[in-house]
Amino acid sequence: MSGDQEPQKFRVPLNDMVERLYDFYDDVEGYNQLYVVAHELSRAAEALLEKARFIEDIESALLVGGNNFPIGVQLIGPVEKGDGVLRTV
């Protein structure tokens, strides 16, 4: 990308994307690519679940109070919901 071009963002509903993949790879040669895409989506789903659990653990620690944060996390700043900065140590 050259310096004068700005990146573009757009949203595609997940169901639409999956339907388009079905349509694009609907032949005998396409099924291998569907396996590849499915595998990558599974890996992405695991990463999303891991991040969600991490945030949930921090939220639970803030609600309970104290310093029961997940290993490797230290809260800096006020301990109010929505405030403070989380830093990994």
- Summarize pLDDT for 22-77 with one digit per residue, the tens: 999 988 889 999 999 999 999 999 999 999 888 887 777 666 655 555 555 655 55
Coil, strand, or helix at residue 11? coil
Q: What domain range includes position 68?
A: 14-88
Tokens for 7?
């990146």
Residue 5 in any domain: the answer is no
pTM of the model: 0.56
Alpha-carbon gap, residue 22 to 35, rounded angstroms: 11
Residue 88: enclosing H or E segment and its boundaries?
Answer: strand 85-88
Please give the tally of structural domains in the chain: 1
Residue 35 in any domain: the answer is yes
CB 29 within 8 Å of CB 35: no
Residue 62, C-beta contacts closer than 8 angstroms, at least 6 positions apart: 75, 79, 81
Coil, strand, or helix at residue 75? strand
